[in-house]
Amino acid sequence: MALLRRTRVHIWFRLLLLQGSWNFERLQGLGFFFALLPGLKKLYPKEKLAEVGRHYLGYFNTHPYLAPLVAGAVLKLEEDRAKGQQPPVEIEEFKEMVAAPYAAIGDALFWGGLRPLAAGIALFFAAKGILWAPLVFLFLYNLIPMLFRISGFIRGYQQGIASVEFFQKRRLPDWAIHTKEAAVVVLGGLSAFLVFQHLQRIDMVSWVGLLAIVPVIVLGLLARKGVSTLLLVLLSAATIILLSLFWTDVTSLVAMI
């Protein structure tokens, strides 16, 4: 039988607690089982539920924002198995097959690209003295992951094992690269803006700010070679802070030369 909508909604909300029981032995395994438990109770009688549940007590780990896609597909496979139909692939094999690729794509897209991009945009607001800049970051960073959580669960439940085509059609690995590149561009713009502001405060010609183009190009090349975008953000921020603190000493040294 098909699961009721309220049961699926219950499961989706439980997936928000996926890492609540994270441990070094099974990682997200217990959390994944906890999330699916309401659906499994509806699909199997009590005498068989313990046997089914033992299959979920092993190791499982993927990106938490893409875990709903896995959970939806697993629920569809469990529905087919409860009806007596043989799934096209064993459920445990399916989980192992998609967990690692989803984790790699999620890390690159959300944590390696989207998080620095949202932080860079929010820093523009912070540089202008806008107090709700942290809310800008929270909104930008959480909006897209929430859409992935919702649409991924729906797609996984509707399509089952065919939901793996989602990544192929949407080219999410390419989007991860583009997001990192966009984060570097925003970082470069922020660096130039901060340099321009500082030069105005010390009454220095603003065209010197064009010199920031060189490190921006270097940052872009490093990002394309796979250097962590977050690391680049931290290094750039540290460089700007140091130059701001010691700008007078630097200009005096240049004048002496």
Rounded to an integer, the average pLDDT of 108-133 is: 86
Residue 15 has pLDDT above 60, yes or no: yes
Residue 56 has pLDDT above 80, yes or no: yes
pLDDT tens digits, 31-49: 899 999 998 888 888 888 8
Residue 146 has pLDDT above 90, yes or no: yes
- Give 65's pLDDT tier (boundaries 50, 70, 90): very high
Rounded to an integer, the average pLDDT of 116-144 is: 87
pLDDT tens digits, 221-233: 676 676 776 676 6
Residue 52 has pLDDT above 60, yes or no: yes
What's the DSSP call for residue 88? S
User: Can you give the residue ranges of every domain in the chain?
Assistant: 1-107+122-164, 171-257
DSSP 152-163: HHHHHHHHGGGG
Record the pTM: 0.74
Q: Which residue has the higher pLDDT, 185 or 13?
A: 13
Residue 137 has pLDDT above 80, yes or no: yes
pLDDT tens digits, 186-244: 877 777 777 777 666 655 555 555 565 666 667 666 766 767 766 766 676 676 666 66
Burial class (CB in 10 A: 0-12, 13-18, 19+), 112: buried
Rounded to an integer, the average pLDDT of 86-92 is: 80
190's CB contacts (< 8 A; 6+ apart) are 120, 123, 124, 127
pLDDT, mean over the chain: 80
pLDDT at 54: 82
DSSP 47-69: HHHHHHHHTTSS-B---TTTHHH
Q: Which of 256, 246, 254, 244 is nearest to 201 (CA)?
A: 244
The residue written with tokens 């800008």 in the block is 136
pLDDT tens digits, 18-33: 888 888 888 888 889 9
Q: Answer yes or no: are the C-beta atoms of 75 and 157 closer than 8 Å.
A: yes
For the chain, the 3-state helix, strand and coil shares in percent, each to the nearest 5, are 80, 0, 20
